[in-house]
Amino acid sequence: MIVLGIDTSCDDTGVGIAQGNKVLANSVASQTAIHASWGGVVPEKASREHLSVIDAVVDEALATAKLELSQIDAVAATYGPGLVGALLVGLNYAKALAWSLGKPFIGVHHLEGHIASSLGAAQLEPPFLCLIASGGHTSLFAVSRWGKYEELGKTRDDAAGEAFDKVARLLGLGFPGGPELASLAETGDDQGVSLPMPLRGQGGYEFSFSGLKTAVSVLLQKQPELNKADLAASFERVVVDSLIDVVVRASAATGYTDVVVAGGVAANQRLRRGFIDAKLNAFFPPLSLATDNGAMIALAAHYKLGQNSNWLRDAQPYLPLDASLRSSASS
């Protein structure tokens, strides 16, 4: 089965095509340059840009896969969570496309797409843990089988990627800040600045990064002469150590030895090295599947083939993954 997947949950217009667990195309139109001057994503601008480019991105994906629309067996799209206006663009486009082709429509939860992104790198089967760390989400799931996900813990406040972006702004770096902060950190001393470890000594599997961001802000106010590279490296170290510490404890408690790391922060090289140092059997999606994209939606839809299309499914900007599964079962 060949599935065309669409993701417009935030500021990237992603269209991907997958046949089973093989990615045939992964086209993404980035809006980074459009939002850079604002220092963050402007929801209305994001929605309008999705409308402007989505036809071209679909055409590009089809050309890359060397396919005609008539060869598509199903159309999938993210329905939540995300920016509601942006979500509506991709969701309604996918429904209209599926209807016009007489093909099934499959609604996919955005986080389920990130979990499925591991299929682009390895032949991996559950059970495993999945850490999703991005600009909008930081959660740890136990995946006992495809379609069955238990959220073990999530961030209490800022997502990890959000914290990267906010600290990058404090350091006077560009947008998106995560990659620029990571680049600056490579030149700094990661022990050069003392920063608090979030939720030190906790017994659960939660995350928290707002206090760490505030600590950086206070330090910069009190000591503006601080070496920014050292501060960036120290901040990155604490975030990575916090993420890995939670996953290590969850692995010991559940007995799950395989760990999928997904989301934009999965592209961070220190995080990748940290999982190797922690001797965890970690799987990272290809960099092209780490950030938001349509291919991961097509991959996730592969496991939903055969389910009835829900043509009335609406965009849901706030939707926990476990709640989405309950609603799917009742619809």
pLDDT 10s digits, 146-183:
878 899 999 999 999 999 999 999 999 987 788 999 99
Q: What pLDDT does 174 receive?
A: 80
What's the whole-number mean pLDDT along residues 50-68?
97
Q: Is the pLDDT of residue 25 over 80?
A: yes
- In contact, 118 and 82? CB cutoff 8 Å: no
Asked if pLDDT for residue 327 goes beyond 60, the answer is: no
Q: Give the pLDDT confidence score for residue 322 in this predicted structure.
A: 67
Whole-number Å distance between alpha carbons of 292 and 289: 7
| Rounded CA Rg of the chain | 20
Taking the C-alpha atoms of residue 285 and residue 263, their distance in angstroms, rounded to an integer, is: 9
> Rounded mean pLDDT of 240-252?
96
10 Å Cβ neighbour count for 163? 30
pLDDT at 306: 65
Q: Indicate whether 13 pLDDT > 70.
A: yes
Q: Which two tokens stand for residue 325?
A: 């599964």
**Mean pLDDT, the chain, whole residue set:** 90
Say how far apart CA 31 and CA 9 lie, in whole Å: 12
Alpha-carbon span 155 to 208, nearest angstrom: 5
Residue 138 has pLDDT above 90, yes or no: yes
CATH architecture of 124-284: 2-Layer Sandwich (3.30)
User: How far are the Cα atoms of 66, 111, 169, 201, 282 from residue 137, in angstroms, in the given order?
Assistant: 34, 8, 19, 23, 19
The predicted-structure confidence for 286-303, as pLDDT tens digits, reads as follows 888 888 999 999 999 987
d(CA 90, CA 70): 19
Answer whether residue 280 shows pLDDT above 50: yes
pLDDT, position 119 = 66
The C-alpha atoms of residue 188 and residue 183 are separated, in whole angstroms, by 10
Would you say residue 122 has pLDDT above 70? no
* pLDDT at residue 155, rounded to an integer: 96
Instruction: Give me 86's structure tokens.
Output: 């942006």
CA torsion sign for 284, 289, 295, 296 is positive
Q: What confidence score (pLDDT) does residue 125 get?
A: 82
pLDDT average, residue stretch 253-271 = 92
**pLDDT tops 90 at residue 331:** no
pLDDT > 50? residue 319:
yes
Tell me what the mean pLDDT of segment 4-16 comes to: 95
What confidence tier does 40 reach under pLDDT thresholds 50, 70, 90? confident
Report, as an integer, the average pLDDT of 219-229. 95
Closest by Cα among 127, 119, 162 to 145 = 127
- At the topology level, CATH places domain 2-116+290-330 in Nucleotidyltransferase; domain 5 (3.30.420)
| Stronger pLDDT, 74 or 43, i.e. the higher one | 74
Those residues with Cβ within 8 angstroms of residue 282's Cβ, 6 or more apart along the chain or in another chain: 259, 260, 261, 272, 275, 276
Greater confidence (43 vs 297) lies with 297
Helix (H, G, I), strand (E, B) or coil at 234: helix
Percent of the chain with pLDDT over 70: 94
Weakest mean pLDDT among 6-10, 124-128, 139-143, 159-163: 124-128
List strand residue ranges (DSSP E) for the chain, in order.
2-7, 13-19, 22-29, 74-80, 105-109, 128-133, 138-145, 148-154, 258-262, 281-283
CA-CA distance, 77 to 82, in Å (whole number)?
12
Report the percent of the chain where pLDDT is more than 90. 70
Residues of the chain with CATH 3.30.420.40: 2-116+290-330, 124-284
Q: Which residues share a beta bridge with 260?
A: 130, 283
Does 125 or 210 have the greater pLDDT score? 210
> Average of pLDDT values for 197-211?
92
pLDDT for residue 329: 45
